[in-house]
Structure 1
Amino acid sequence: MPYGTPGHDPASARLRRHIFGDDAEQYDTARPGYPPQLVQDVLDFSALAARDPALEVGAGTGKATLAFARSGVPVTCVEPDVRMARVLRRRCAELPEVTVEVADFESWRPGRRYGLLYCAQAWHWVDPAARWDRARAALSPGGAIGLFWNHWFLSSGELAERLTAAHARHGIEIPADTLLDPRPRPARRGPESRQWREMTAAGFVAPEHRLYTSVHERSTSALLGLLASYGGYRALPARPRERVLDEVARIVDAHGGHAQVRVITSLFLGRTAR
């Protein structure tokens, strides 16, 4: 059985969401942020009153936090990993209206209701049996929810084929939802998507699904950093991971030492009933 399949990953999703804290600084450096238009669209949809705070679930190292806070919105961040929260606090040190609480969202109890709850690249790590109930409990009547994810693609199909073949030579299955995953991402759109169906089944109304596309140039080292930041690669045994990433580096260097990465950011919006 290749590395990267479920049989080689004994950790539960609840434990695996802490794997990113093993090297929080590397994660913060490697991961791209989110489109400014997305941030504005979320704020416009939520129509927050002046100085009304937003709630961020799974804030990580602040890749989305900074954008919302710099828009003038006070943000309460709930982050389950103390190591990620340490980087988050440092990055937001000059933003006094960012509050960081180290807690699992499933057990965290808000001291107030919020007009906006958003979650960047982390909603899938929250217990599906509890997340929608917890979101409704944290939101005011008519409050908005914004859930978004980045999906990465290599612009060069030839380079993607060579890197995929390198993984096969090392007996490593391409981790799901990563740069080389050949499946369409997002897999479904609008009412056909799981997020839309779950949101409406949980009683959220006025759902919307929006997509944003951006293009980034990545050096060999930056591309390796992106791969290494994925949970699927972090969960691999150290030696197989090192060997395949070493070969990836050689291939990208031979390709010119850089690669173009296309990012599709998928945003789901909804609101609680009034």
Structure 2
Amino acid sequence: MATAEHDRERRQVFGDDAEQYDTARPDYPGRLIDDVLDFAALTAGVPAVEVGAGTGKATLAFAARGTPVTCVEPDARMARVLRRRCTGMPHVAVEVADFETWRPERPYGLLYCAQAWHWVDPAVRWARARTALRPGGAVALFWNHWHLEDPGLAERLTALHARQGMEVPPYTILDPRPRPARRGPQARQWHEMEADGGFTDVAHRLYETTHERTPSGLIELLASFSGYRVLPPAARERLFRDVSRIVEQEGGGAGVRVTSSLFLARSRA
């Protein structure tokens, strides 16, 4: 239970500076969004539900394609930014609630979650997904995984963490573990959907994009990860100051390679 409480606290830190998070995080590839909608094959007017919508990094992409979306977001601070970004989009509704306790008023043809499914209680998340979906409805879970393109810069920044007496936070741009760590049928998400028994047609797809970050842009990205947000402010500021200095010394920019990982499935009829 302590771990569950710790996760609940960690998932709430993003709202501490929701505007910063919205600015720092990259969008999702357009091809990924198109593939989700092709897989879901929603007929006109059939809505989607987004779990952990945050500030709308994925919401806007689906809404721009005409998809009616109900956004379930537990943090009111993130939801405020989301509502502002969706101004003028009457087909987007925002509900401030935990997905674990939220009660859908209608069945949905698509449930998607961008970068947030791991924050949902694993004891109930698959049952809650089945409850929200109509028979044959689609599930789409996706994440961005970041890597520095320059291994020399990654080594210098990793060494900087060690000199300052801190470990590289997991699931961040400097995490040395390969990501996605397991693919296709070897992935946890795949295993969980099969073990649940309520899903079929499970599939996994990957997308590669690249971005160039200035020193300040790289700091913004690091600051959007929960592992850095929970550091003591003085330690975080000292680290970020030295990260910026090293990036300047390495040419003033950092190439970031983004692997977007998409899991798809359908609820059984």
TM-score (norm 2): 0.97
- The amino acid that maps onto 1:29 is T
Aligned to 2:243: 248
Distance 1:198 1:83, change over 3 A: same
Aligned to 2:230: 235
Find 2:156's aligned residue among 142, 151, 162: 162
Aligned to 1:49: 43
Aligned to 1:59: 53
Q: CA deviation at 1:75?
A: 0.4
Partner Cα separation in structure 2 for residue 10 and residue 121 of structure 1 = 18
Aligned to 1:119: 113
Distance 1:164 1:254, change over 3 A: same
Is residue 2:239 matched to residue 1:257?
Answer: no
- The amino acid that maps onto 1:271 is R
Give CA-to-partner distance per residue, 1:61-87, whole Å, 9 cap, x none.
Answer: 000000000001010000000000000
- The amino acid that maps onto 2:187 is S
Which range moves more in the overlay, 47-56 or 260-269?
47-56
Q: CA deviation at 1:238?
A: 1.1
Question: Which sections of structure 1, spanning at least 5 residues, go unmatched?
Answer: 1-8
Runs of 4+ in 1 over 2 A off after TM superposition: none
Partner Cα separation in structure 2 for residue 120 and residue 176 of structure 1 = 18
Aligned to 1:99: 93
Give CA-to-partner distance per residue, 1:33-56, whole Å, 9 cap, x none.
Answer: 100000000000011111211000
Identity of aligned residues (%): 67
**SS at structure 2 position matched to 1:17:** helix
Partner Cα separation in structure 1 for residue 179 and residue 83 of structure 2 = 32
TM-score (norm 1): 0.96
Is residue 2:212 matched to residue 1:217?
Answer: yes
Q: CA deviation at 1:243?
A: 0.9
Partner Cα separation in structure 1 for residue 116 and residue 128 of structure 2 = 15
Aligned to 2:265: 270
Partner Cα separation in structure 2 for residue 239 and residue 142 of structure 1 = 51
Aligned to 1:4: none
Find 1:201's aligned residue among 192, 195, 198: 195
**SS at structure 1 position matched to 2:182:** coil
Aligned to 1:191: 185
Give CA-to-partner distance per residue, 1:177-220, whole Å, 9 cap, x none.
Answer: 10000100000000010010001111211100000000001111
Aligned to 2:25: 31
Question: Which sections of structure 2, spanning at least 5 residues, go unmatched?
Answer: none
Aligned to 2:221: 226
Partner Cα separation in structure 2 for residue 70 and residue 52 of structure 1 = 15
Partner Cα separation in structure 2 for residue 10 and residue 108 of structure 1 = 18
Find 1:136's aligned residue among 130, 147, 170: 130
Partner Cα separation in structure 2 for residue 220 and residue 239 of structure 1 = 19
Aligned to 1:19: 13
Aligned to 2:72: 78
Q: CA deviation at 1:11?
A: 5.8
Q: CA deviation at 1:95?
A: 1.1
Query: Residues 14 and 127 of structure 1 are in contact (CA less than 8 Å); yes or no, is this contact kept in structure 2?
Result: no
**SS at structure 2 position matched to 1:18:** helix
- The amino acid that maps onto 1:165 is A
Q: CA deviation at 1:257?
A: 1.4
Partner Cα separation in structure 2 for residue 11 and residue 198 of structure 1 = 22
**SS at structure 1 position matched to 2:237:** helix
Partner Cα separation in structure 1 for residue 45 and residue 5 of structure 2 = 41
Partner Cα separation in structure 1 for residue 157 and residue 10 of structure 2 = 25
Partner Cα separation in structure 1 for residue 5 and residue 196 of structure 2 = 28
